Chains A and B, each alone.
Chain A
C-alpha cells in the first residue's frame, strides 16, 4: 500500500510538471481511476480524475467499459441529512480544470458489472466527451476497504462536508 501511495505521489508530481508545460493537451486526460469491486450482482461505482488541459470546455457524456453494459453518470444529491443518487446527462470540466469524482459525489455507475471482477483486476474504459472525443483509461479494481483508504489519505481525499 505504501509503495502504491508513493507511486501515486510520484504520478501527482509528474502531473504537476506537465501542467506547467506550455504544450496544451489535445484531449482531457485521465489521471487516476478506480473501480470498486462489486459485491455479488449489485451495481458498483467507478471514480475518475480527469484533467482538462485543452483550451476548450469539455463535457463528459458517457463512459463505456467491457465490465458492464449499463453505465450511467451519477452524482449524490444531499439535502440536509438525506442523500439520493441522481443521474447526470453530462459532467462539465472547464479548461484547465479537474473533475475529481469521489464517493458521495460524482461517479460512474455500473448497473450490471461483471460479478467475477475482483480486487487486483484491471478493466478498460472509454470516456466519451460531447465533442465526440474518446479517451481510453485503464481502471484497477479495488475493494471498498481500499477505496476508503485511497480517498482518506490520497490526493483525491474528499472535502470534508460539515453541516
Chain B
C-alpha cells in the first residue's frame, strides 16, 4: 500500500486530473470528426445497413458502349455504387472526389476496389460526357447507362428512391437522385452506405475494414 500522498501533491494530482478532463472535453468539442455512433456501427463511420443489401445482378452499357456485367466485373472487389449525373454541381463530384482522394492515399487497395457510377440522366450523359467527367476523378471509375426501366428496377432492388428528371418551364431540369454511395463488400452484399456529408476520413476509416470484414457475427 502506498503511503498517503502529502496534501500539496494530492492537490497537484487533483489539478492535473481536472486539467486533463477539461482538455478532453475541449478536444471533444473541437474535434472535426463527429463521434461515430458505436451502436451497431462496428467501428464504421458510414451508415451500417441492416439488413444488408444484396449485390444486384444486372448488365448495363458502359461508357464505351460495351455491356458491363456488374456481378462478374466487380466480383472480389469492394464496390462503391452511386446513382448520379454529370451536370450535378456538387453532391456527385464531391462523392467522386472524396473516394478518388482516399484511393490515392491507399494505393495498395486500388486493384481491389471498383467505383461504379450509374447516370440518372442518360439523355445528357452520353458515353463521351461520362468518360470526360469520370476521368476528372480517376481513370479507373466506371460509368454506366441504363434505360429508365432498368434503372427503376435497380433502384427499387437497392431501396433507393427513384431518380427523377423533372423539367421546368424554361426547359431546364434538375435531376433528383439518391444521395448515398453504396459500398458492396468484396464478396458479398452491401453492409455500409455513405450519405452525402460523408467525409474522406469516413471512407478512409472504413475502407480497410470493409476489405477484411466477413460480417460473421451478424
Contact = CB atoms under 8 A, between A and B. Distances in A.
Secondary structure dominating the interface of A: mixed
Contacts of B98: 148
Given A84-B174, A147-B97, A42 B87 contact: yes
Interface residues of B, number: 38
B21 interface: no
Contacts of A81: 160-161, 178-180, 195
A145 B87 contact: no
A85 interface: yes
Given A40-B129, A40-B133, A84-B176, A145 B90 contact: no
Interface stretch (B3-11, B53-61, B196-204, B207-215): B196-204
B108 interface: no
Nearest to B136: A39
B90 A76 contact: yes
B94 A144 contact: yes
Contacts of A130: none
A162 B41 CA distance: 14
Interface in A74-103: 74, 76, 78-87, 103
Interface of A: 36, 39-40, 42-45, 74, 76, 78-87, 103-104, 107, 109, 111, 143-145, 147-149, 151-153, 157-158, 160-163
24 contacts: A36-B89, A36-B93, A40-B129, A42-B86, A43-B87, A82-B161, A82-B179, A83-B176, A83-B196, A84-B174, A84-B177, A103-B90, A103-B94, A104-B90, A144-B97, A144-B137, A145-B100, A148-B94, A148-B98, A149-B101, A160-B34, A160-B197, A161-B197, A162-B34
